[in-house]
Amino acid sequence: HGYELSTQRGSTYNAYLIVDREVVLVDTVWGPFKEQLIENIRQIIDPSKISIVVANHGETDHSGGLPAVMACAPNATVVVSTRGHESIPRHYYQNWKFKPVKTGERMNIGESDLIFVEAPMCHWPDTMFTYLTGRNILMPNDAFGQHYATAFRFNDQVDQCELYSEALKYYANILTPYSKQVAKKIDDVLALNLPVSIIAPSHGVIWRQDPLQIVKAYQKWASGASEPSAVIIYDTMWHATQRMAEASGAGLAASGVPYKLYRMAVSDRNDVLTEIFKAKAVIIGSPTLNNGLLPHLMPILEEIQGLRFQNKIGAAFGSYGWSGESVQILEEHLQKSKIRIVAPGVKAKWQPSADDLAACEQLGKQVAAAVKAS
C-alpha cells in the first residue's frame, strides 16, 4: 500500500471476471502481474470481449493492470466512482471511455445487475464497492481484505486463527484512521437490504462461509473497543531503558493486567501497531540521544499519530546521561496522538537505581489502574 507494510504470509491481488451478456472485469492487479492477469482471463474468454471494467479504486496495486486490459479491450467502458473519475485518469492519461457512477446506481449486464456504492475514505477518496445481483456477491476492493496468500481461495479452507490475525492487522495498519467512515459505510450498505452470500475483497481470501462475520468484526474494530491490556515499546543502548521497561511490565503484571513488551530495534513495526490497536494502554520508553530519541522509535511514533487510535491511555519513561529530554519528547508524542497520559513520566540517570525501578513498577501499576477503570 505504497509504503513498507510487512506481509509475512504474503498477499494476493484479486480481480473478478463476470461472464454474462456483458463481460465485466472488476478491478485489475498491480502492474508487474498484468501478464498473469491477462493469461488467466484468456483461459476463460478472449480478453477482447471485455466490455466493462469496474475500477473500484485508483491505487496502482489494483488499477496497475488497467492499461494492459484496455490494450486488449480498447472499446471497454471503465466504470468509476465520481472521485475515481478524478483520480484514475490522472494516473494513466489515456483516452478511455469512463462512466462515473454514484451510490445506488444499477447497471444491467444480462441476467444480473451491478449495484455501486461509493465508499469515500474507506481507504482512499475514490473507493467504491460493487455488488453483483443473483450471486449476491459484494466486491468491496480493499475493505474486508487481508495480506494473506494461501493455496486456497475461501475463508473456510484456511486456518481461522491466521485469517483473523491477518484481517485484524490489515484493519489496524490501513483502515484505522478512517474508522468513522468505515462504520458509516457499513451502515449504508446494510441499509440497502441486499443479501450478501459472498464478500470478495481485493486482497486475501474470499469470505463465503458466514461472510458477515468480517462485517461484524469491522463494526467492532471501528468502534474503538479495546482489550484490558497494555503494550510496552522501547529501545535501549546499554540496557538501562530495557530494565525500566521490564520493571514497568512487572507493575502491570502485579496488578493483573496482561502486557506485551517490544524492543523496536528488533520488532516488526506493523505487528506492534496491531497489538497497540488491540490494547487499551501503550507505555513508551527511550534513552536520550543527541537531545532526542533513539531512531528505531521514530517511525512507530509517527505511525501511532497518523493512525489516530481511539480511546488510548499511556505513559513514558527513559534513561539519560546528561540532557535527559526523552521522556518529555515521548509525552509530547502521546499528546499529539491524543493518547491520555495517566502516570507521571519516570527518568533515570545513567543506570536505574532501585528507587528508579520501583518508580517504573509504580508507573505500571498506575497504568493498570487506569486500564481497569476505563
pLDDT in tens, 10-19: 999 999 999 9
CATH code for the domain of 255: 3.40.50.360
Mind listing the pLDDT tens digit for each residue in 44-91? Answer: 999 999 999 999 999 899 999 999 999 999 999 999 999 999 999 999
pLDDT of 2 over the 60 cut: no
Distance CA 116, CA 153 (A): 24
Q: Which domain holds residue 199?
A: 16-222
Whether 146 and 257 map to the same domain: the answer is: no
Specify the pLDDT at position 122: 86
Whether 213 and 235 map to the same domain: the answer is: no
267 domain residue, yes or no: yes
Whether 293 and 218 map to the same domain: the answer is: no
Average pLDDT, the chain: 96
Mind listing the pLDDT tens digit for each residue in 240-253? Answer: 999 999 999 999 99
Whether 263 and 301 map to the same domain: the answer is: yes
Whether 157 and 118 map to the same domain: the answer is: yes
When pLDDT is averaged across residues 292-319 and rounded to a whole number, the result is: 97
6 domain residue, yes or no: no
Whether 242 and 354 map to the same domain: the answer is: yes
User: What sign results for the dihedral spanned by CA atoms 367, 248, 299, 62?
Assistant: negative
Specify the pLDDT at position 121: 83
Mind listing the pLDDT tens digit for each residue in 98-130? Answer: 999 999 999 999 999 999 999 988 888 999 999
C-alpha to C-alpha distances, 112 to 22, 108, 184, 197, nearest whole angstrom:
10, 6, 27, 15
Whether 211 and 280 map to the same domain: the answer is: no
Whether 291 and 197 map to the same domain: the answer is: no
Distance CA 229, CA 371 (A): 7
Give the position of cell 518529555: 328
Whether 217 and 236 map to the same domain: the answer is: no
* Identity at 322, one-letter amino acid code: W
Whether 310 and 249 map to the same domain: the answer is: yes
Question: Which residues 6+ apart lie within 8 Å of 168 measured at CB?
Answer: 217, 221, 274, 277, 278
* Identity at 138, one-letter amino acid code: L
Specify the pLDDT at position 3: 64
When pLDDT is averaged across residues 159-184 and rounded to a whole number, the result is: 96
Q: Which of 55, 120, 41 is nearest to 92 (CA)?
A: 55
* Identity at 94, one-letter amino acid code: Q
11 domain residue, yes or no: no
Residues 130/26, Cβ–Cβ less than 8 Å? yes
For 163, the grid coordinates are: 485469517
Residues 359/346, Cβ–Cβ less than 8 Å? yes
335 domain residue, yes or no: yes
Whether 209 and 269 map to the same domain: the answer is: no
CATH code for the domain of 196: 3.60.15.10
| Domain end marker among 204, 222, 240 | 222
Specify the pLDDT at position 1: 56
| Residues labelled catalytic | 1, 57, 59, 61, 123, 142, 170, 203
Write a three-state SS string for the chain.
Answer: CCCCCCCCCCCCCCCEEEECCCEEEECCCCHHHHHHHHHHHHCCCCHHHEEEEECCCCCHHHHCCHHHHHHHCCCCEEEEECCHHHHCHHHHCCCCEEEEECCCCEEECCCCEEEEEECCCCCCCCCEEEEECCCCEEECCCCCCCCCCCCCCEHHHCCHHHHHHHHHHHHHHHHHHHHHHHHHHHHHHHHCCCCCCEECCCCCCEECCCCHHHHHHHHHHHCCCCEEEEEEEECCCCCHHHHHHHHHHHHHHHCCCCEEEEEHHHCCHHHHHHHHHHEEEEEEECCCECCECCHHHHHHHHHHHHHCCCCCEEEEEEEECCCCCHHHHHHHHHHHCCCEECCCCEEEECCCCHHHHHHHHHHHHHHHHHHHHC
Mind listing the pLDDT tens digit for each residue in 149-169? Answer: 999 999 999 999 999 999 999
Residues 219/331, Cβ–Cβ less than 8 Å? no
- Which percentage of the chain shows pLDDT scores above 90? 95
Distance CA 21, CA 24 (A): 9
Distance CA 145, CA 14 (A): 10
211 domain residue, yes or no: yes
Specify the pLDDT at position 280: 99
Specify the pLDDT at position 102: 97
Per-residue pLDDT band at 188 (split at 50, 70, 90): confident
Per-residue pLDDT band at 4 (split at 50, 70, 90): confident
Per-residue pLDDT band at 192 (split at 50, 70, 90): confident
113, β-bridge pairs: 108
| Domain end marker among 176, 205, 222 | 222
For 274, the grid coordinates are: 496491531
1 domain residue, yes or no: no
Whether 64 and 206 map to the same domain: the answer is: yes
Per-residue pLDDT band at 189 (split at 50, 70, 90): confident
20 domain residue, yes or no: yes
135 domain residue, yes or no: yes
Domain total for the chain? 2
Specify the pLDDT at position 5: 87
Specify the pLDDT at position 107: 99
For 113, the grid coordinates are: 445487475
| Domain end marker among 206, 222, 238 | 222
